[in-house]
């Protein structure tokens, strides 16, 4: 495991210990249907609210997740991803709650989830879905966390990086598979990964392309292979999200 990823996982274990016994708020936000927003007649966008990352540092100094999320919704996003990790990605559960309260789209908690208590937090703070990363979980852990999320009515995006991890995800019961072109061990992007893996997945699976999508041309070659794409850094670096959202989908900056 990459030293940075290993450090993040260690931090998560410490946070989980601190979370035990802590009371959670009563959920006030309805769970919004994941599949109908992502598996549509065209490729949908899971647009991400992310202030920064360990590899890129601060991406958006004037970060207001609610304003960004509303702009995403108005631009036509299918769902919104909110980074909730505080120490490495500068997010919070309050960001999740604020965004989920402000939009009518399904919102996914994107974090390094290792324990059911983190799923309980996601539910309490308004998420309609969570992210689970195969790379940091055993097959047994993955299956258990998937079941826990589904019992709460939450959808799950299961992130993979190779065919072996895809098989693990499917065996655990995943119905939404994310193919992350970024190798979490090296942080390198392998764009051909989508073309290698996505066509082999059953059409009933919601297939999500993750990382490295920064242009109309980037995702056009995936047409017919994916149902959705998760895009964060491209938008976070943009001075005009609405314009560049349109440019990403249509290949023109007409806005």
d(CA 244, CA 255): 8
4, 17, 232: which is closest to 114 by C-alpha?
A: 17
Instruction: Based on the residue annotation, tell me whether 164 is a catalytic residue of this protein.
Output: no
Choose, from 12, 73, 98, 110, the residue flagged as catalytic. 110
Instruction: Based on the residue annotation, tell me whether 50 is a catalytic residue of this protein.
Output: yes
Choose, from 15, 44, 50, 98, the residue flagged as catalytic. 50
How many angstroms separate the Cα of 163 from the Cα of each of 54, 177, 191, 214, 230?
A: 26, 11, 14, 24, 19
Do the strands 107-110 and 129-133 form a parallel or antiparallel pair, or are they unpaired?
parallel
Look up residue 55 and give its two tokens: 């590899």
Give the residue carrying structure tokens 């190798």.
183
Instruction: Based on the residue annotation, tell me whether 217 is a catalytic residue of this protein.
Output: no
Choose, from 71, 210, 228, 247, the residue flagged as catalytic. 210
- The answer to whether the beta carbons of residues 173 and 144 sit under 8 Å apart is no
Choose, from 44, 128, 211, 247, the residue flagged as catalytic. 211
Instruction: Based on the residue annotation, tell me whether 48 is a catalytic residue of this protein.
Output: yes
Choose, from 128, 180, 228, 247, the residue flagged as catalytic. 180
Choose, from 159, 165, 228, 247, the residue flagged as catalytic. 159
Instruction: Based on the residue annotation, tell me whether 210 is a catalytic residue of this protein.
Output: yes
Instruction: Based on the residue annotation, tell me whether 87 is a catalytic residue of this protein.
Output: no
Instruction: Based on the residue annotation, tell me whether 211 is a catalytic residue of this protein.
Output: yes
Choose, from 12, 15, 44, 48, the residue flagged as catalytic. 48
Q: Mind telling me the catalytic residues?
A: 48, 50, 110, 159, 180, 210-211
């Amino acid at each position: 495991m990459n030293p940075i990823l290993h450090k993040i996982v260690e931090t998560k274990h410490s946070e989980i210990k601190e979370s035990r016994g802590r009371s959670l708020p009563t959920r006030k936000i309805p769970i919004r249907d994941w599949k109908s927003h992502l598996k549509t007649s065209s490729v949908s966008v899971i647009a991400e609210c992310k202030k920064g990352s360990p590899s890129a540092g601060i991406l958006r100094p004037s970060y207001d997740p609610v304003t960004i999320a509303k702009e995403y919704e108005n631009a036509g996003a299918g769902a919104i991803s909110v980074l909730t990790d505080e120490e490495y990605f500068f997010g919070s559960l309050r960001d999740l709650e604020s965004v989920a309260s402000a939009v009518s789209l399904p919102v996914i908690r994107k974090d390094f989830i290792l324990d059911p208590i983190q799923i309980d937090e996601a539910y309490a703070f308004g998420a309609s879905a969570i992210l689970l990363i195969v790379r940091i979980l055993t097959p047994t852990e993955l299956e258990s966390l998937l079941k826990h999320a589904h019992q709460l009515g939450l959808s799950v995006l299961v992130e993979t990086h190779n065919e072996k991890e895809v098989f693990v995800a499917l065996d655990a019961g995943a119905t939404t598979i994310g193919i992350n072109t970024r190798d979490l061990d090296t942080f390198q992007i392998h764009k051909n990964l989508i073309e290698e893996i996505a066509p082999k997945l059953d059409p009933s699976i919601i297939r999500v392309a993750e990382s490295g999508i920064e242009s109309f041309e980037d995702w056009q070659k995936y047409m017919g292979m994916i149902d959705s794409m998760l895009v964060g850094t491209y938008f976070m670096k943009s001075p005009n999200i609405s314009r560049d959202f349109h440019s990403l989908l249509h290949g023109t900056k007409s806005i």
